[in-house]
Structure 1
Amino acid sequence: MILLTGANGVVGRRVLELLPDEGVAVTRGTPVPGAAKTVRGDLCHPEWIEPALDGVEAVQISPRATGPGLDELLKLAVKHGVRRVVLLSATTVAYPAGEPRFAARFKAAEDLVTQSGLEWTVLRLADFAANALAWAPQLKAGDVVRGAYGRAASSPIHEADIAAVAVQALRGKLPGGTAYTLTGPQSLDQHEKVRLIGAALGRALSFQELPPEQVRQGMLAQGLPEEVPARLLGSLADYSERPGPTTGTVEDLLGRPALTFADWARDNVAAFGR
């Protein structure tokens, strides 16, 4: 069996689709579709999960899901004979961008995983293509996306590619003790991302740049916690000066081209339609 933290997340759901008979989903809420089994509880205090670790061979870690409970979870995994751990980290550990406090959290998680005594794989992920879903309300209402730093460029990765690599690592098909930097195949700024969504929808869309502080205040007015605009705007500011990394690692590991942002947009037209 393979235990997944953050199973309700964008990547977790995709991984479960690839593990229909062996995925154990960890969640605070309702049963997760596609999971062979769901266990519920607060991973910040993971003692309750101990019975669910019996028969588990590998664990996928989402640091945002485990929070301060990661160290204890790893110790419990070792105690119950788990062999492998796969960590979903971020490219900012190796390619700094945004406020250092956010990359530091991922680096701290990497340190715990690599020192756990388990066979480990770290996946340092570029920004998810799925982050563009935040534009859906604007595109359902009109043909303009408004945001900050239009020329900020990164190589967004399709969650299906993350899941495909993660499953290989969870099943022991990748060399252990390795950190991989996974990105999409093409560096795109925000204008280009919006254009590609428009091409998938058959609509002429545009990106309108707003002052960063206006965007920040708008996000806070929606009730988002302070760290959400801080994380977003800090990274975008740096990527507007220096694009994020682009690697061919996905293709190297999967033996096929990485999925493009255009592929992702076509896969998600329903989310933006009106």
Structure 2
Amino acid sequence: MFLITGATGNVGRHVVAELASQGRKVRALTRDPASARLPAGVEVAATADFPLDGVTAVFLNPAVFYTGFGDLLERCRAHGVRRVVMLSSLASEQAEDSNPIGRRHLDLEREIEASGLEWSFPRPGAFATNTLGWADRIRATGTVRGPYADAQLSPIHERDIAAVCARALTGDDLVGERPPLTGPESLTFADQARLIGKAIGKDVRYEELSPEAARAEMLGNPHMPPAIADSLLEMWAESVGRPAFISPEVERITGRPARTFAEWAADNADLFA
């Protein structure tokens, strides 16, 4: 039995679907089981209950664990769980450079390592789904507002992240590994806006804001701490005119090329139109 946390989230939903398509027994955890809409045959339970009976491997999404794991890892051992796969972050590789996103993920990685459980930590970089934050403005005005139009990233499709996580849960070749995961191409923010426009048949323009104006907009989100906003702005500034890192790990692990951002935009066009 595989237990999946954050099972209705951007990545977790696809981890569940991937495992279910393989005929695996899956227990999906979500805050609201009644509205989960997961594949037939998947057992759905409340995150608050966290039932571990019969579970051999657990997928942990750090977004579910705001204050750390508490006694969860001890409970996993007590119930016979053998393996933990945690969705980490490529930012963990810069954690010693005062990157708060990376530090948080690295701290959680170390907590799992110390537990004695088998582990794997897929480390994706920029998520293609981050651009969903542009959807309202694209629908209303056909523009995107943000800093550093020429900052380069290699956004990854959430289905590719999920495929790697499913492989880490079910096979032994990724035990003790931290595979860095990216999309297959380096794209600017302006490129991403253009490709979304192409997918929806509409011209979409990226309107560059000053770092100060962008920071003020970012902090308008109550879930955006100032330290995270500052770290992101610094990272984007450093990536202007600098091709993004491209990892071969998605193709190596899954046996097929990573999906392009254009494919992601086509898959999600209805969310922008």
> Could you state the TM-score of these two structures normalised by the residue count of structure 1?
0.89
For the residue of structure 1 that corresponds to 2:63, the secondary structure is helix
Match of 1:39 in 2: 45
User: Aligned equivalents of 2:201 and 2:98: distance in 1?
Assistant: 37
Matched, 1:194 2:193: yes
- What is the alpha-carbon root mean square deviation over aligned residues? 2.2
Query: Which structure 2 residues correspond to residues 80-229 of structure 1 after superposition, within 5 A?
Result: 80-95=79-94, 100-221=99-220, 223-227=222-226, 229=229
Query: Deviations along 1:10-57, whole A, 9 cap, x unmatched?
Result: 000111112336222222334422162233244xxxxx53xx111101
Give the Å deviation of 1:213. 1.9
Matched, 1:22 2:25: yes
User: Aligned equivalents of 1:196 and 1:270: distance in 2?
Assistant: 14
AA in 2 matched with 1:179: R
Match of 2:265 in 1: 265
Which runs of no fewer than 5 residues in structure 1 stay unpaired?
Answer: 43-47
For the residue of structure 2 that corresponds to 1:196, the secondary structure is helix
User: Aligned equivalents of 2:94 and 2:100: distance in 1?
Assistant: 14
Query: Deviations along 1:151-190, whole A, 9 cap, x unmatched?
Result: 1111110001011111111112533111100111101110
8 Å contact from structure 1 (residues 161, 259) kept in 2: yes
AA in 2 matched with 1:39: A
Match of 1:12 in 2: 12
For the residue of structure 1 that corresponds to 2:166, the secondary structure is helix
For the residue of structure 2 that corresponds to 1:240, the secondary structure is coil
User: Aligned equivalents of 1:154 and 1:99: distance in 2?
Assistant: 20
The runs of 4+ residues in structure 1 deviating greater than 6 Å are none
Change over 3 Å in CA distance of 1:108–1:242 after alignment to 2: farther
Change over 3 Å in CA distance of 1:103–1:264 after alignment to 2: same
Give the Å deviation of 1:7. 1.7
Give the Å deviation of 1:107. 0.5
Which runs of no fewer than 5 residues in structure 2 stay unpaired?
Answer: none
8 Å contact from structure 2 (residues 129, 157) kept in 1: yes
User: Aligned equivalents of 1:180 and 1:58: distance in 2?
Assistant: 18
Change over 3 Å in CA distance of 1:13–1:222 after alignment to 2: same
User: Aligned equivalents of 2:33 and 2:56: distance in 1?
Assistant: 24
Change over 3 Å in CA distance of 1:156–1:99 after alignment to 2: farther
Matched, 1:246 2:246: yes
User: Aligned equivalents of 2:232 and 2:27: distance in 1?
Assistant: 31
User: Aligned equivalents of 1:98 and 1:23: distance in 2?
Assistant: 38
8 Å contact from structure 1 (residues 5, 66) kept in 2: no
For the residue of structure 1 that corresponds to 2:11, the secondary structure is helix
For the residue of structure 1 that corresponds to 2:65, the secondary structure is helix
Q: Which one is further off, 24-33 or 235-244?
A: 235-244
Tell me how many residue pairs correspond in the alignment.
Answer: 266
Change over 3 Å in CA distance of 1:117–1:71 after alignment to 2: farther
Match of 1:61 in 2: 60
Give the Å deviation of 1:78. 1.1
Change over 3 Å in CA distance of 1:167–1:122 after alignment to 2: same
8 Å contact from structure 1 (residues 153, 189) kept in 2: yes
User: Aligned equivalents of 1:178 and 1:134: distance in 2?
Assistant: 31
Give the Å deviation of 1:96. 5.7
User: Aligned equivalents of 1:101 and 1:250: distance in 2?
Assistant: 26
User: Aligned equivalents of 1:154 and 1:95: distance in 2?
Assistant: 16
AA in 2 matched with 1:152: A
AA in 1 matched with 2:38: G
